[in-house]
Amino acid sequence: MAAPGSGLQRFADVAGDGAPRLDAAAGEELVRVDRAASVALGGRSPEPPGTLFVTTRRVIWLSEAEKGKGYAVDFLAITLHAVSRDLEAYPSPCLYTQIEAEIGTDDEAGESNPEANDELELSKVSEMHIILGDPGQFLEIVLGIANTCILDRASVDALFDVFCHCAELNPDPNAERNGENGWFHGEDRTGGGWVHGDEDMVDENGPQFFNANPIGQNGEYDLSHSVFEVRKEFVYLQINDQRFEDAEEEQESHENGH
Amino acid sequence: LFFSYFKELVGKEVTVELKNDLAIRGTLHSVDQYLNIKLENTRVVDQDKYPHMLSVRNCFIRGSVVRYVLLPQDGVDIDILHDATRREARGG
């Protein structure tokens, strides 16, 4: 099995019934299946329809037309997902996703020339659209265009929620938890109290987070420090207030690290 | 610290910059313990680079890919943040 979180990969581990073989031993479960779904990698045109399988760990797409052709990407590598309603580009609202790819742009993967070579460098693909087909094509004829759009919208919105759910199931292995589980929407504030620094996020090694290593490039990079680096940067660089002057020393060394 | 602080920001306009340099402005809808962020009413700051984001209005951003979050100047309670970070820096 390929290393998790390493971006978009080819997938061909298919069982006899056409379903992908999952890592059941590790607890991977199927969450959602969409027939007649297509994917568009990078800036390329959508592939002929296939089947989308969303599991608790990754997203797999298997081509219907070309047996043996398939792609998979771990949720660890899906950095962003959103509903896109660009009806000029795609026939229906679709799910737009960004994938953490190798350094090096989609240009090398043929994005600037979508019709070009078949040899797509998957590791450099950083964008993927997922277009849901309309499995109820009979419904489309009967209900008319407006209702079809509603069906499409509902499907892709549901897929968006599924992606949110599965992304939450796949936090970074070394990510620091911030205490409470679940999402905070702002309606039910429990006093808005501050989480005390002595209970969590104590970095016993001191401020070691101002490293020059670019985050994500070095596989051995300490993710716990990289996460902390993000947070500190958030504080010291973005608040331009003179009361933060005592942090200038760290700010300078951090800027050197960039 | 930051999860608590982010809770204060829900409903406010923020700009999230990702490690791939993409900057997205939107209303903070919600945040979780891993600092995964859901934004609404999004618009991309640098539209030329990511044209596919133009038609996106709501998005989910993985916490691990956030470089930083730009806050509205007047939406920030500097005193609370200042005290909390000082407490943090001292190790509690």
Tell me the pLDDT band of A138, cut-offs 50, 70 and 90: very low
Mean pLDDT of chain A: 69
- Return the SS3 of A75: helix
Radius of gyration of chain A (CA): 22
CB B39 within 8 A of CB B61: yes
How high is the pLDDT of residue A153? 56
Lookup: tokens for B21: 């340099």
> For chain A, first and last CA: distance in Å?
34
Which among B38, B56, B92 has the least Cβ separation from residue A197?
B92
How high is the pLDDT of residue B32? 92
pLDDT over threshold 50, residue A104? yes
How high is the pLDDT of residue B83? 73
CB A100 within 8 A of CB A5: yes
Which residue in A106, A102, A99, A107 sits closest to A123, CA to CA?
Answer: A102
Q: Which residues of A touch B76 (CB under 8 A)?
A: 239
For domain A8-103+122-169, give its CATH number from 2.30.29.30, 3.30.200.20, 3.40.50.360, 3.90.1150.10: 2.30.29.30
How high is the pLDDT of residue A244? 47
How high is the pLDDT of residue A175? 62
Lookup: tokens for A150: 């509603």
Domain B1-91 = CATH 2.30.30.100: yes
How high is the pLDDT of residue A239? 40
How high is the pLDDT of residue A155? 86
Which among A172, A204, A238 has the least Cβ separation from residue B68?
A238
pTM of the entire structure? Answer: 0.69
Rounded to a whole number of angstroms, the distance from the CA of B45 to the nearest CA of chain A is: 16
pLDDT over threshold 80, residue A50? yes
How high is the pLDDT of residue A152? 54
How high is the pLDDT of residue A238? 38
pLDDT over threshold 80, residue A85? yes
- The 10s digit of each residue's pLDDT in A176-224 is 555 555 666 654 444 333 333 333 443 443 333 333 333 444 444 344 4
List phi, psi (to 5°) of B52: -70, -15
Q: What is the pLDDT along chain B (92 residues), one digit of tens a residue?
A: 677 788 888 999 999 999 988 999 999 999 999 999 999 999 888 778 888 888 898 999 999 999 999 987 766 666 767 776 777 677 64
- The 10s digit of each residue's pLDDT in A218-257 is 444 344 433 333 343 333 333 444 454 554 444 444 444 4
List phi, psi (to 5°) of A22: -100, 165
Q: Which of A17-31, A80-94, B75-89 has the highest mean pLDDT?
A: A17-31
Mean pLDDT of A112-141: 67
Q: Which residues of B touch A46 (CB under 8 A)?
A: none
How high is the pLDDT of residue A147? 46
CB contact under 8 A, B76 and A239: yes
pLDDT over threshold 90, residue A111? no
Mean pLDDT of A105-122: 53
> For chain B, first and last CA: distance in Å?
11
Question: What residues form DSSP beta bridges with B16?
Answer: B24, B69
Rounded to a whole number of angstroms, the distance from the CA of A234 to the nearest CA of chain B is: 5
Give residue limits of the domains in chain A: 8-103+122-169
Q: Which residues of A touch B54 (CB under 8 A)?
A: 86
For residues A22-49, b (16+ Cβ closer than 10 Å) or e, as one string?
beeeeeeeebbebebbbbbbbbbebbeb
